[in-house]
Amino acid sequence: MRTVLRTTALAAVSALALTACVASDRDADGGETAGGGEGGGQDTFIFAASSDPASLDPAFANDGESFRVARQIFEGLVGTEPGTADPAPLLAESWEVSEDGLTYEFALKEGVTFHDGTPFDAEAVCFNFERWNNFTGVLQSESLSYYWQKVNGGFASSDVESLNGTGKYESCEASDELTAVITLASPLPEFISALSLPAFSMQSPTALEEYGADDVGGDEAAPVLPEYATAHPTGTGPYMFESWTRGQEVVLTANPDYWGEQGQIRRVVFPVIGDPTARRQALQAGDIDGYDLVGPADVVALEEAGFQIVNREPFNVLYLAMNQAVPELADVRVRQAIAHAVNKEALVAQTLPEGTEVATNFVPPSVAGWSEDVATYEYDPDRARQLLSDAGVPSLTIDFNYPTNVSRPYMPTPEQVFQSVAADLQEVGITVNPVPEPWSPEYLDRIQGTADHGLHLLGWTGDYNDTYNFIGVFFGQSSNEWGFDDPELFSMIGDARYQTSVEDQTAAYEAANEAIMERLPGVPLAHPVPSLAFKPSIKGYPASPVQDEVYNVITIED
């Protein structure tokens, strides 16, 4: 045993010594990064992902992590103005919309090629649109072609009746090499905005065919992605796909033939780090250059430690809804009283991430149709008490539903939001009966499936610059969530959607937002900002409200 002991001890000591040697080596060239450790080197950008991409073919994806990767590899006809959600030219240099809103003529950028050398032209554009519209069978399942279904409304043909030939897209014609004309069957006002989604990226027709992009195996319950979507995504973007180790990392390299500016970053690595704390520590240890979805509690600590916090313009809304199926809440004076009772500034300061904006509309300011002239309900407890006694309910008792053990992008800590709002309400004499429930399915089922709820907290994050995506979803028709039937409001919102000129549409949406706040179905509380964190050396991260963030503009300082 002595010998064994001695050997073990010797082994342990030498292992430690070896480790120490290497550690000091690493320190020597690790440089001055905040935590020590290895960074990415000067031309490698390492950005932690919270999970694997669902698919490398963005037409089959609808999640943030897939889109993050797709933004680097692919480009669509339409992009966004940097830092905003407004549509801007990308692979289409300009477009013209016919008077009736049915024909879109896209003038394409010249001299662009896909990563495999296939030229990008009008034929390629039509190939992509025809591909999406002619998805069949398992490709039509929501887990795959979610956005084409959602935006277009159907496919060329389908076994599902509600999708069979019900799409807005009619045809695509390559009238010359650089002009693609898309014809719609009926107007689709959000068409241009929606085209900025990575799901509608232009993909190489050659690669799509060569790697069987549409050969999805399995069945709807378990689709098996084809080679294209797991190993050969081919676009026109500044980065080309190199490798994907499932559960571990996605690696991209610079596209030497990129039509735009290549920039300093030549290699992008997305290591998968699922746990939020582990992401923060990886940044602190210097193992990664940045990460997304920084927890509100970590923001201050990271800033103090010298890391950069970059906020995206909020593209979401958190609101307090008032169910008008409850008799007392059907009285607008009671709803106004509640609106006056809530101290939004204090709520934002106490429970939401730094930089969060107080909301006045049910859409964030970066969305077209946000109105400055909506009725606002100042924090005024006396006014609230007065309104309650006017309504004949000086001592109101009401259910307050809120979700537990969940964190949403627009509501990191529902329990805290509840506490803050409930305290405000009690202050003006409203007795709150708390009804906490697990987020899924109990809470959502109750709010959206039944009339049995009083006040509740909920919110929404938008996909692209489309006002209807917010207020149309909330107030486009009568629903269990809000418990009112107001055909006038419903048609105001519906009509606004189908205005063909942008100016008219914006004005109509502004009017709709004003009408909503007059009727006051709920109180928009806040637009919480999503935060990203980076090493101090990372400069120029192009934060975007709709996450249109491409890394060729980033620089890394010495």
Which residues, numbered 35-94, are part of the site for other proteins (CB under 8 A)?
35-38, 40-41, 44, 46, 51-52, 54
Q: CA nearest 461: which of 544, 545, 523? A: 545
Q: Which is nearer to other proteins, 37 or 187 (CB)?
A: 37
| Chosen residue from 117, 137, 165, 218 binding other proteins by CB under 8 A | 218
* Both structure tokens of 301: 């600590």
Q: Which is nearer to other proteins, 113 or 253 (CB)?
A: 253
Q: Which is nearer to other proteins, 51 or 350 (CB)?
A: 51
What whole-number distance in Å separates Cα of residue 30 and Cα of residue 58?
Answer: 36
Q: Angle at the Cα of 170 (from 164 to 173), degrees rounded to 5?
A: 145
Q: Which is nearer to other proteins, 30 or 187 (CB)?
A: 30
At CB < 8 A and 24+ separation, what contacts does 49-54 make? 49/250, 49/270, 49/271, 49/272, 49/273, 50/272, 50/273, 50/274, 50/276, 50/279, 50/292, 50/293, 51/272, 51/274, 52/244, 52/246, 52/247, 52/250, 52/272, 53/244, 53/250
Query: Residues near 349 by Cβ (< 8 Å), separated by ≥ 6?
Result: none
Q: CA nearest 201: which of 305, 112, 265? A: 112
Q: How many Cβ atoms sit within 10 Å of the Cβ of residue 201? A: 26
Q: Which helix (H) or strand (E) holds 243?
A: strand 239-245
In angstroms, give the least distance from the CB of 46 to other proteins: 5
What SS3 string covers 343-404?
A: CHHHHHHHHCCCCCEECCCCCCCCCCCCCCCCCCCCCCHHHHHHHHHHCCCCCCEEEEEEEE
Q: How many Cβ atoms sit within 10 Å of the Cβ of residue 18? A: 10
Q: Which helix (H) or strand (E) holds 173?
A: strand 169-176
* Residue window 164-203: x/- pattern of binding to other proteins, with contact defined by CB under 8 A: ----------------------------------------
Per rule CB under 8 A, is residue 4 in the interface with other proteins? yes
Per rule CB under 8 A, is residue 231 in the interface with other proteins? no
Q: Which is nearer to other proteins, 395 or 405 (CB)?
A: 405
Task: Determine contact, residues 361/524, Cβ cutoff 8 Å.
Answer: yes
Window of 84-92, 222-230, 414-422, 485-493 that interacts with other proteins by CB under 8 A: 222-230
Beta bridge partners of 308: 534
What whole-number distance in Å separates Cα of residue 102 and Cα of residue 91?
Answer: 21
| Chosen residue from 58, 198, 205, 223 binding other proteins by CB under 8 A | 223
Instruction: Give the up-direction half-sphere exposure of residue 222: CA atoms within 13 A in the CB hemisphere.
Output: 1
In angstroms, give the least distance from the CB of 300 to other proteins: 17
In angstroms, give the least distance from the CB of 275 to other proteins: 5
Q: Which is nearer to other proteins, 392 or 438 (CB)?
A: 438
Q: Which is nearer to other proteins, 98 or 245 (CB)?
A: 245
Window of 69-77, 100-108, 434-442, 493-501 that interacts with other proteins by CB under 8 A: 434-442
In angstroms, give the least distance from the CB of 127 to other proteins: 26
Instruction: Give the up-direction half-sphere exposure of residue 109: CA atoms within 13 A in the CB hemisphere.
Output: 20
| Chosen residue from 71, 232, 408, 527 binding other proteins by CB under 8 A | 408
Which residues, numbered 246-285, are part of the site for other proteins (CB under 8 A)?
246-249, 251, 269, 271-275, 277-279, 281-282, 284-285
Q: Which is nearer to other proteins, 5 or 304 (CB)?
A: 5
Q: Which is nearer to other proteins, 24 or 395 (CB)?
A: 24
Q: Which is nearer to other proteins, 448 or 491 (CB)?
A: 448
In angstroms, give the least distance from the CB of 449 to other proteins: 6
Per rule CB under 8 A, is residue 28 in the interface with other proteins? no
* Both structure tokens of 35: 């935590």
Task: Determine contact, residues 484/329, Cβ cutoff 8 Å.
Answer: no
In angstroms, give the least distance from the CB of 129 to other proteins: 26
The size of the interface with other proteins (CB under 8 A), counted in residues, is 69
In angstroms, give the least distance from the CB of 80 to other proteins: 24
Per rule CB under 8 A, is residue 19 in the interface with other proteins? yes
Task: Determine contact, residues 228/520, Cβ cutoff 8 Å.
Answer: no
Per rule CB under 8 A, is residue 392 in the interface with other proteins? no
Which residues, numbered 445-484, are part of the site for other proteins (CB under 8 A)?
448-449, 458, 460, 473
Per rule CB under 8 A, is residue 26 in the interface with other proteins? yes
Q: CA nearest 282: which of 36, 543, 547? A: 36
Which residues, numbered 132-171, are part of the site for other proteins (CB under 8 A)?
142-143
Q: Which is nearer to other proteins, 9 or 231 (CB)?
A: 9
Per rule CB under 8 A, is residue 306 in the interface with other proteins? no
Q: CA nearest 59: which of 117, 122, 134? A: 134
Per rule CB under 8 A, is residue 491 in the interface with other proteins? no
Token look-up 């709010």 returns 447
Per rule CB under 8 A, is residue 438 in the interface with other proteins? yes
Q: Which helix (H) or strand (E) holds 69?
A: helix 64-73
What whole-number distance in Å separates Cα of residue 23 and Cα of residue 25?
Answer: 5
In angstroms, give the least distance from the CB of 447 to other proteins: 9
Q: Which is nearer to other proteins, 403 or 454 (CB)?
A: 403
What whole-number distance in Å separates Cα of residue 16 and Cα of residue 3?
Answer: 20
Dihedral sign, Cα of residue 93, residue 98, residue 100, residue 103 = negative
* DSSP classification of residue 451: S
Q: Which is nearer to other proteins, 439 or 484 (CB)?
A: 439
Task: Point out which residues bind other proteins (CB under 8 A).
Answer: 1-2, 4-5, 8-9, 11-12, 19-20, 22-23, 26-27, 30, 35-38, 40-41, 44, 46, 51-52, 54, 142-143, 218, 220-225, 245-249, 251, 269, 271-275, 277-279, 281-282, 284-288, 408, 438-442, 444, 448-449, 458, 460, 473
